[in-house]
Amino acid sequence: MNSVDLTLENFQSVFIETSKEKLVMIDFWADWCEPCKNLMPILDKLAVEFQQQLVLAKVNCDEQQQIAAQFQIRSLPTVMLVKDGQPLDGFAGVKTEGEIREFIKQHLPAPEEALLTEGLALYQAQDFTGALPLFKQANELSPERHDIQLLLADCLIELKHVDQAKSIVSAIPLVAQDQNYQSVLAKITLAEEAAESPEIMALEKALAATPDDFDVKIALAVQYQQAGKAEQALELLFTVLSQDINYGDAKKHYLDILASLPEGDACGPLYRRKIYGLLY
């Protein structure tokens, strides 16, 4: 439903309930009003264009005099925007389609807000894989918003892409380094400390002693991946594959890591090109 005739019977539903979910644009008109008839097709068209965010409510002022009186309508046509049961803005007379479109857009949430809301719901449900692309899209739409950057970095940490999170956080200026920034920075520090596990340290020691041992390289690469060090894991595996493309599970681990990289990860294209160079 993107258009409705507003009456006393549905006034509560439209003016209060519907306006909690969408912007309601009320068109006050009458049959005898020629400018009203010129304006209505424009409003109908825009109601379809913005149907995800807006509902058009039409008030025939001859038939719904109580509603017109309640809003103190003095001239026709009059258009009013309502949100959460409260009038936001309005105009009287006829405007062009472009003018009304801009009038509507001024009161719609920014595109990144819808992505942010959806992403936060998934993040709070610990669906970090689902939240990540939404935060990325929101960041692309509004790259100056550091709150979105911090949410993106936080999500990357949860998915063990610590290096990418660190890169985002390092670009945030001093003026924006608030409590949320400090919290994400602390998570990065903890993640980096956790990455220095006894298993990793033991395998690194073994590799230093036997630098040509493919099995140690593969085992260490697996540990690196689990610790969020995807680039280091890929580099180790590539040293194996460049000498023996079919050695053990090296190729499988390599391709699995590539598939797990978040969209936009800088090392993805590089290591895809490297493996394609060996395969083809």
Residues 76 and 118 reside in one and the same domain: no
Last residue of a domain, one of 166, 195, 224: 195
pTM above 0.75, yes or no: no
| 181 and 116 together in one domain | yes
Is 90 found in the same domain as 154?
A: no
Segment 26-78, tens digit of pLDDT: 999 999 999 999 999 999 999 999 998 999 999 999 999 999 999 999 999 99
Whether residue 77 sits in one domain with residue 153: no
The reported pLDDT for the residue numbered 190 is 81
Q: Is the domain of 41 the same as that of 65?
A: yes
Which of 172, 195, 218 marks a domain boundary? Answer: 195
Asked if residue 189 and residue 248 are part of one domain, the reply reads: no
Among the candidates 176, 195, 214, a domain finishes at 195
209-253 confidence digits (pLDDT tens)? 999 999 999 999 998 888 878 888 999 999 999 999 999 999 999
33 is catalytic: yes
> What pLDDT does residue 279 have?
81
pLDDT at position 233: 92
Residues 158 and 92 in one domain: no
Band of pLDDT at residue 164, cut at 50, 70 and 90: confident
Do 221 and 159 belong to one domain? no
Check whether residue 272 and residue 212 sit in a common domain.
yes
From the candidates 33, 61, 155, 267, give the one annotated as an active-site residue: 33
Same domain, 131 and 91: no
* pLDDT for res 225: 84
Same domain, yes or no: 58 and 73: yes
Q: Which CATH number belongs to the domain containing residue 183 in this structure?
A: 1.25.40.10
Q: Which residues contact 33 (CB under 8 A, 6 or more apart)?
A: 76, 77
**Mean pLDDT, range 13-32, rounded to an integer:** 94
Return the pLDDT at 264. Answer: 65
242-272 pLDDT, tens digit per residue, is 999 999 999 999 998 888 777 667 788 899 9
* Res. 196: pLDDT tops 90: no
Count of domains in the chain?
3
Q: Do residue 230 and residue 216 come from a single domain?
A: yes
d(CA 18, CA 78): 20
Tens of pLDDT, residue by residue over 64-87, are 999 999 999 999 999 999 999 999
Mean pLDDT across the chain, nearest whole number?
Answer: 91
Q: Kindly tell me if the per-residue pLDDT of 112 is higher than 70.
A: yes
pLDDT surpasses 80 at 280: no
- Expressed as residue numbers, the domain containing 16 is 3-105
Q: What's the whole-number mean pLDDT along residues 12-20? A: 92
pLDDT band at 192 (very low <50, low <70, confident <90, very high): confident
CATH of the domain at 82: 3.40.30.10
Does pLDDT of 118 surpass 80?
A: yes
The pLDDT, as a whole number, for residue 228 is: 77
Kindly name the residue from 36, 61, 155, 267 that is annotated as catalytic.
36
